[in-house]
Amino acid sequence: MQVRDLMSSPAITVAPETKVQEIARIMREAHISGVPVIDANDALLGIITELSLIERSAPVKQPRYFAVLSGMIPVSLEEYREYREQVKLVLATNAAELMDDDPATVDPNDELGTLLAIMSEPEKTMLPVVENNRVIGVVTRTDLVRVLEALEMAIEENNIENNTEKNEG
């Protein structure tokens, strides 16, 4: 089974200038966990997920500083980096400012196993399907669960048929 067999197409997408409030409304009304951000040629620029929106709304935690001479230096470089990212998210007002601009993607010809390996990572809830540099669909965890359920049912039906044939024979 290939990605093209289970992807949702066409994808619900947004433009880079789409406001955060509009993105949240689109995701809520369409019951989706994320949206690809595309340019006028349908080329992928990035993605926005529910987590992106949640993190944007999270309170900003100030890093700890200590005084050196007449300046302040962050106690932890990691805390300072986290602080900068949090401020960036809070100030984001459109898709271009909020999106992950280096998302994982899949090709429509990728096999189910490749998709499962990528989507087993906790933060990967939605993957854009890209062909010829254009977003042609998306695959979500819901799509995967639907396919896995169908495969399990097919296996179960096959086992029932095999047992029936053995009992009749």
Domains of the chain (ranges, CATH numbers): 3-56+73-168 (3.10.580.10)
Tell me: pLDDT of 109 over 60.
yes
**What pLDDT is attached to residue 123?**
85
Q: What is the mean pLDDT of residues 124-149?
A: 93
Q: Give the range with max mean pLDDT: 32-41, 91-100, 138-147.
A: 32-41
User: What is the DSSP code (8-state) at residue 113?
Assistant: H
Rounded Cα distance between 65 and 127, Å, is 39
Residue 69: the pLDDT is 63
Q: Which pTM does this prediction carry? A: 0.72
